[in-house]
Structure 1
Amino acid sequence: MDKTTQIFGLRAIIEALNAGEHVDKVFLQKGLKGDLFQELETVLKDKRVNSSYVPVEKLNRLTKNNHQGAVAQIAPVKFYDIEELFDMVSKKNTTPLFLLLDQLSDVRNFGAIIRTAECTGVDGIIIQSKGAAPVNGDTIKTSAGAVFKVPICRVDHIKDAVFFLQASDIKVIAATEKTDNTLFDVSFKEPCAIIMGSEGRGINPSILKIANEKAKLPLLGEIESLNVSVACGAFLYEAVRQRL
């Protein structure tokens, strides 16, 4: 964890959350009890902040200071609500293009995707609050600073974002090998959102079911898949090609 994006201590983290600080994730000591610890747990739940319970040894590695059983990772960017993001994009005189990342967990893949998204004119990236790669120092470096230029939205569940976009007349296209259609068979000319899955699991089957269309990359070699950031780049540039 980048030391410059840390807050440690129970009261300090509670105050930061109540002040509206953009907290990406909080690491809590397993087995810790007490009124202040319970208060922090309540605030985390109310604010829907991603958290995980870890051994004290991990917290000791994160900071040499007196962490009191809690260390928070501060996001260097603002996260948008999906309504806020959509309203902002709707005011542009362009055809919307969104990117949904279904629990992508590798920060370098995340950073590379953000960089490509900025270069291809993506209007916003939507991630899930829990299970997604954090926006940290590695993400910023890999994105070459693009993380500060592309709005990022966090939602409780990707499925909720899909339903919201579809209700707003945004076509949702899933990038998956579980289809006969290639990305060259799909139209990206209208308002649309592309879903990319996680590195190992791909797109959740329940999300695949509700996507408007599915498309895959034709693979001509013996290896059965591409790195997700490379695959995402291919999809985004096909959208650019069709829209030019």
Structure 2
Amino acid sequence: MFALAAVAPGLLAPGSPESLDLGATLQAPSAAHWFGTDELGRDLYTRVVHGTGLSLLIGLGAAAVSLTLAVLLAAASALTGRILSGAADRTIEILFAFPTLLLALLLIATLGPSPLSLVLAVGVGTAPGYARIVRGQLLSARSSGYVEAATGLGHRRLRVVAAHILPNALRPLVGIFTMSIGQSIVWASSLAFLGLGVAPPSPEWGALLDAGRAYLTAAGWLVVVPGLVIAVLALAATTLGKHIQTRLETGR
């Protein structure tokens, strides 16, 4: 359903997310407006559906940035010489010393709020944790029997890394990537709630949270509904990612 809403939002919500109705402002959820309306009378259900594409795009982009940076740092740490490996280890430790939210805030403060800076901030902020996971996978693969056998047969180091270590170490990342999409959307929405994400009147879910917080006591659905949607997507992505990871590990 989320994928359908991202690709073809008009099928689920034919109206315009920017359509105003000043005679129906701040109406609670009802049969006419499933998720209620906002301070300008815009239908919240329509805005949530039409904001799915941008929210998922931010989540996918941040997850891609995070895992790409994690793989590069982990590979430099686990598969290179002492100098480059030490530099990569220190970089991971320095990034890991910063709380994810603080690191993301620093990057957004430097780059300025925009969808691209949000993707980069969340991606860089969550990369250190994944880098440690990938590094462990690479070290485990490097010390495996099949790598020792390939080395004993005289295969060049680059061939061993490309043909044996990387494919076996990075295969579990498919599931991790899927799980990180939901986490990235949660982080992006948290930053947007602080006013550092996509600016209103965009229907992106974090922007909806940011716009609705001013009416938290008078019209709580403006925050509760987008928050529940974010939670459901995060749960769905986590469940799918764990299922993929289990199938890759067990072959079932």
Tell me which interval the TM-score lies in, with the shorter structure as reference length.
Answer: under 0.3
Give the TM-score normalised by the residue count of structure 1.
Answer: 0.23
Looking at secondary structure, tell me which structure has more helix per residue.
2
Give the TM-score normalised by the residue count of structure 2.
Answer: 0.23
In our comparison, the structure showing a higher alpha carbon Rg is 2
